[in-house]
C-alpha cells in the first residue's frame, strides 16, 4: 500500500508545500487509488510537516515546490518526494504519477 500526500489550496495543487490549506491523501493499492481524504495540517513551523505526514502513514509526496530542508527531512523519514509537479487536481496528479505520465518542471520553491 502506498499513501500519497499532495498539498492543496481550494482542493487544487498548491505550489508552496509548507503553506498549503490542506493535504489530499490518497491510498493506492496495486496502482489503483482506493481512498481519498483531505486533512488540515497544523500551523506552519519549519520542519514540522515531514514528521507529521510520516506519522500518518504517508510514504510519497508530490508537490509543486518544496524547500531543500523539507526534502531532506522526508528522506530521513523514508518518504519519497517528487517536486515540480504540474497539474490542477490532486487526484489527476497522483494518477499521472501512477501511469508514469506526470509532468514535472522546476521546483518552484527556492529555500
For 6-39, how does the pLDDT look when each residue is reduced to its tens digit (9 = 90+)? 999 999 999 888 889 999 999 999 999 999 999 9
Alpha-carbon dihedral angle through residues 30, 36, 42, 45, given to the nearest 10 degrees: 50
* DSSP codes of every residue in 25-76: EEEEETTEEEEEEEEPPPSP-TTHHHHHHHHTT--EEE-S---HHHHHHHHH
Q: Are 74 and 17 in contact (CB under 8 A)?
A: no
Looking at every residue in the chain, the average pLDDT score rounds to 93
State pTM to two decimals: 0.94
Domains in the chain, CATH or no CATH each: 2-99 (3.30.420.130)
Instruction: Return the axis-axis angle of helices 48-55 and 68-76, rounded to nearest 10°.
Output: 30
Amino acid at each position: 500500500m502506498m499513501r500519497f500526500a499532495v498539498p492543496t489550496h481550494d482542493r487544487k495543487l498548491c505550489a508552496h508545500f509548507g503553506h498549503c490549506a490542506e493535504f489530499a491523501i490518497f491510498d493506492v493499492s496495486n496502482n489503483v487509488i482506493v481512498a481519498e481524504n483531505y486533512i488540515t495540517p497544523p500551523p506552519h513551523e519549519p520542519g514540522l510537516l515531514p514528521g507529521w505526514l510520516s506519522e500518518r502513514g504517508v510514504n510519497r509526496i508530490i508537490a509543486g515546490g518544496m524547500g531543500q530542508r523539507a526534502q531532506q527531512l522526508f528522506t530521513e523519514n523514508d518518504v519519497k518526494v517528487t517536486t515540480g509537479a504540474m497539474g490542477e487536481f490532486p487526484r489527476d496528479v497522483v494518477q499521472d504519477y501512477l501511469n508514469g505520465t506526470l509532468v514535472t518542471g522546476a521546483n518552484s520553491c527556492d529555500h
